[in-house]
Structure 1
Amino acid sequence: MSALELRLPYRTVKARPFPGLAVGLSLLPSLAAALLVFGPPPWRGEVGVLVGLTLLAHLLAFFATDRMARYPGREVWGLAAFNLLLFTLLLLAVLALGRLYYSRAFLLLATSLAFPLLLLYLHHLPPVRLALLPGGLADRLRSIAKGVRPIEDLEEAEGVVADLHHLDPRALPLLAEASLRGLPILHAAAVYEGYTGRVPLEGGFGEGLLALSEGNRGLYPYFKRPFEVGLVLLFAPLILLLGLLVALLVYLDLGRPVLFAQERMGLGGKPFKAYKFRTMRGAPREGAYAGEEANRVTPLGRFLRRYRLDELPQFWNILKGDMNLIGPRPEQKVLAEAYAREIPLYPLRHAVRPGLTGWAQVEQGYAEGKEETLVKLAYDLYYIKHLSFWLDLRILFKTLWVLLTGFGAK
């Protein structure tokens, strides 16, 4: 029996420290721009401070992009642009608050040079070549992965992927050969997660049960809540202004009340009242899917739903402690209880606070029915298992794209 070759981006398979190549590339744009704008060193003190701060900003942009790119997704150029813009804005804020010297020509040139170098860094390594052994979840990987082809010899592989719980007996000689060669043996479930961004639930619920126990979240959960509340308070004036405008539009469209409250399932399975702007005529029905209510949604309501403006009142739920900014979306209590009876692992979603946005929302969009909810649960369990600052930042970035495109709205 021969194995199959599976090629995957190295960041989704191998956890590596921040490499020296990234550090070197992050320093080049600022130094090159300084040479072109200010001439060769030594530079006067204020120029040296500007160059040093720009070096730091680009180093942080490279580091953040490297960490965020370790999660599944194809929007690499967007990550690079997002982080360069973010840290350049922070740099400008530091220069303005400190009343420090700056040069528009230098900053523009340095940032323009940093973008292609950051993309070059993200693409410089070839994909990891893995030998996929048949059986169990590995067969599922074979059906969804692109570019799978037979591999002639394990010498061509950098590792072996196998579902050791459901390994095809005919693949045992290949597994023994891989061990003798010293090739790393990767569990098919871990590779599946890195490829899809979901915890595998297709063949049963065993892997999902490990989602909470295997997670290594470090200290982040302890400062996640203060960080998110601080972020909401920082943008509170803008949120309040936008909320008042939407409230006025809803009043003109549907009259009073402009808000409605719906019972949703929160942390630990404890219900709470989630607030939203009204988008449809009449009172919402408990347990009804959004698609079933489409004929009652007004044109303004469709616009608000498309760009998630109807969810602005849920920032109050965040401040109250009912929700986080990022986490699994809270489901209606009636539906959550029904899903819990049909899907044994569904209550695991309630191990963390629900969020205004989440991994399932930016990857899948709105879900209704058991099958779509099972996929949504797989995304939610991935988030719970891999909860980190960088994953949350990746979700925030993708949320901006969702808001601009209206992806997944109902």
Structure 2
Amino acid sequence: MWAMRVLEIQLPYRLVKPRAFPRVLLGLSLVPALVAGLIVFGFPPWQGGVLGLVLLTALAHLLAFFSTDRMARYPGGREAWGLVAFNLLLFTLLLIAFLALGRLYYSRAYLLLSTLLAFPLLLLYLRLLPPVRLALVPGGLSDRLGEVLGGAFRPLEDLEAAEGVVADLHHLDPRALPVLAEASLRGLPILHAGLVYEGCTGRVPLEPPFGEGLMALAAKDLGLYPLFKRTFEVGLVLLFSPLILLLFLLVALLVYLDLGRPVLFAQERVGLGGRPFFAYKFRTMRGRPREGAYAGEEEGRITPLGRFLRRYRLDELPQFWNVLKGDMSLIGPRPEQRVLAEAYARENPLYALRHTVHPGLTGWAQVEQGYAQGKEETWVKLSYDLYYIKHLSFWLDLRILFKTLWVILTGFGAK
């Protein structure tokens, strides 16, 4: 067998054996509601409101498990416990709201116990997924996988123990064809090395001749999701508008006391289709920011209050108005200054692909990398942005919203 190696990885989402919803997860999602019912209400048959409560709780857990499974298909799973807690809390609160609005029977002890039982089951499911044993065919991006994963792979003599084959299908050595033919006869999935790279890193490879990066645009088939995305995001902003307005007024007062008037400034950024618009932010530094300057280059002019606002992204509160106006989305690639965007597009032809979707208040690059400083970090940011465009979905957006809450609490990546 020609020069294959063993690649054992725990893929963030199911590339090898995709299923709409794993049956083991379906079974696990029903256990907490039933066990808590036995402990709190005793053995069935349960009557009336008790039975309805158990069934509704089982449905809420099923939705929480399904949502967690979908969100966990994207890389960057270091916060698995937070992801589990986020979904269980979200759907438990929705269940409580439904029970309260419908004036249905509920038990606080039962809801608390069932949620506490669901948490470790779902966390174990995410953490104990076994690694996938793949046959790595050398050449092209397959060689890059070794660098990315930082490991030396053992030689592989045959496909007996393999669960799939990884090869760079865009730059395939003819000697690999017998390997792929045998894999096909055995019913093994053949995975493009670019997809595995994306699954491990959350980034699209940008090396010339830029084939993988261009696939970010070619593979974009969003259907009706952009319409739902706009409605969902505007509804979310309006729902939390009292809290947003309260924070806005408080920050505006603090900026006024710190820097005087004006408390806001507008800066030209590039939006959908390359069209410019003005993004609004709270002032965080003395004087006006220079066009084309990186955040780190203005460090000396940032006030202590401004540094605090930047750390927790409070300086970007005015951009909720840009979202309502339609200049921006809640989630998408961060809008770049026009002078920098034009310079980057001249150096890298893939940079313009960022403008095929609305820019966002938060985005995949922001929660994974933070602010970019300099050209090298900008190209890394671009690889994250293209991953977002290629894999854009409700579940990825929900994952970014969750990670944004984590970023705000920790101040990750602030400049």
Same-fold call, TM cutoff 0.5: yes
Which of the residues 321, 331, 340 maps onto 1:335? 340
Separation (CA, whole Å) in 2 of partners of 1:146 and 1:286: 39
Which residues of 2 match residues 86-235 of structure 1 at below 5 A?
86-150=90-154, 151-168=156-173, 171-235=176-240
Instruction: Give, in whole Å, the separation in 1 of the partners of 2:29 and 2:188.
Output: 33
* Long gaps (5+) in structure 1: none
Match of 2:160, SS? Answer: helix
**1:35 pairs with one of 33, 38, 41:** 38
Superposed CA offset, 1:299-350 (max 9, x none):
0000000000000000000001100000000000111111111111111100
Task: Name the residue aligned to 2:246.
Answer: 241
Corresponding residue for 1:5?
6
- Secondary structure in structure 1 of the residue aligned to 2:278: strand
Question: TM-score scaled by structure 2?
Answer: 0.95
Distance 2:341 2:235 in 1: 30
Amino acid at match of 1:87: F
Amino acid in structure 2 at the alignment position of 1:341: R
CA distance in 2, matches of 1:146, 1:125: 21
Q: How far did residue 155 of structure 1 move?
A: 1.0
Q: Which residue of 2 aligns with 1:69?
A: 72
Give the paired residue count. 410
CA distance in 1: counterparts of 2:151 and 2:82, whole angstroms: 25
Q: Secondary structure at the match of 1:5?
A: strand
Question: Within 5 Å, which residues of 2 pair with 1:316-335?
Answer: 316-335=321-340
Matched, 1:271 2:276: yes
SS at match of 2:279: strand
The one-letter code sitting in structure 1 at the alignment partner of 2:219 is E
SS of residue paired to 2:43? coil
What SS does structure 2 have at the residue aligned with 1:384?
helix
2:267 corresponds in structure 1 to 262
Deviates more, 1:276-285 or 1:76-85: 76-85
Query: Under a length normalisation based on structure 1, what TM-score does the superposition of the two structures give?
Result: 0.96
Mapped partners of 2:207, 2:320: distance in 1: 35
Instruction: Classify the secondary structure of the residue corresponding to 2:221.
Output: coil
The 1-side partners of 2:271 and 2:322 are apart by: 11
Conserved? CA contact 2:3–2:138, under 8 Å = no
Aligned equivalents of 1:168, 1:393: Cα separation in 2: 40
Give the stretch that moved more between structures: 224-233 or 210-219.
Answer: 210-219
Partner amino acid, structure 1, of 2:138? P
Residue number in structure 1 paired with 2:23: 20
**Alpha carbons 1:134, 1:162 under 8 Å: kept:** yes
Q: Which residue of 1 aligns with 2:318?
A: 313
Alpha-carbon distance in 2 for matches of 1:239, 1:85: 22
The CA distance in 1 between the partners of 2:104 and 2:185, in whole Å, is 61
Contact 2:367 2:400 in 1 (8 A): yes
SS of the equivalent of 1:216 reads coil
- From the superposition, tell whether residues 34 and 42 of structure 1 become closer, same or farther in structure 2 (CA, over 3 Å): same
Q: CA RMSD in A?
A: 1.5
Cα pair 1:137 1:203 within 8 Å, conserved = no
CA contact (8 A) 1:4 1:133 kept: yes
Q: Give the deviation of 1:31 after TM superposition.
A: 0.7
Find the aligned partners of 2:259 and 2:393 in 1 and give their Cα distance: 41
Letter in 1 for 2:6: E
Q: In the aligned structure 1, how far is the partner of 2:414 from the partner of 2:305?
A: 14
Partner-residue secondary structure (3-state), 1:154: coil
* Matched letter for residue 211 of structure 2: G
Point out the more displaced range, 290-299 or 10-19: 10-19
Identity fraction in percent: 79
Distance 2:375 2:128 in 1: 41
Larger mean Cα displacement after TM superposition, 16-25 or 175-184? 175-184
Higher mean C-alpha displacement, 269-278 vs 4-13: 4-13
The alpha-carbon deviation at position 370 of structure 1 amounts to 2.0
Q: 1:82 aligns with which of 54, 79, 86?
A: 86
SS of alignment partner, residue 294 of structure 1: helix
Match of 1:229, SS state, is helix
Contact 1:328/1:360 (<8 A) preserved: yes
Instruction: Give, in whole Å, the separation in 2 of the partners of 1:271 and 1:235.
Output: 28
Residue number in structure 2 paired with 1:385: 390
Separation of aligned partners in 2, 1:361 and 1:70: 19
Question: Which amino acid in 2 is paired with 1:160?
Answer: V
1:398 equivalent in structure 2: 403
Report the CA distance shift for 1:125/1:206 in structure 2 as closer, same or farther (over 3 A). same
Q: Is the 8 A contact 1:307 1:404 kept in 2?
A: yes
Q: Partner letter of residue 287 of structure 2?
A: G
Amino acid at match of 2:101: L
- What is the rounded CA distance, in whole Å, between the counterparts of 1:76 and 1:132 in structure 2? 28
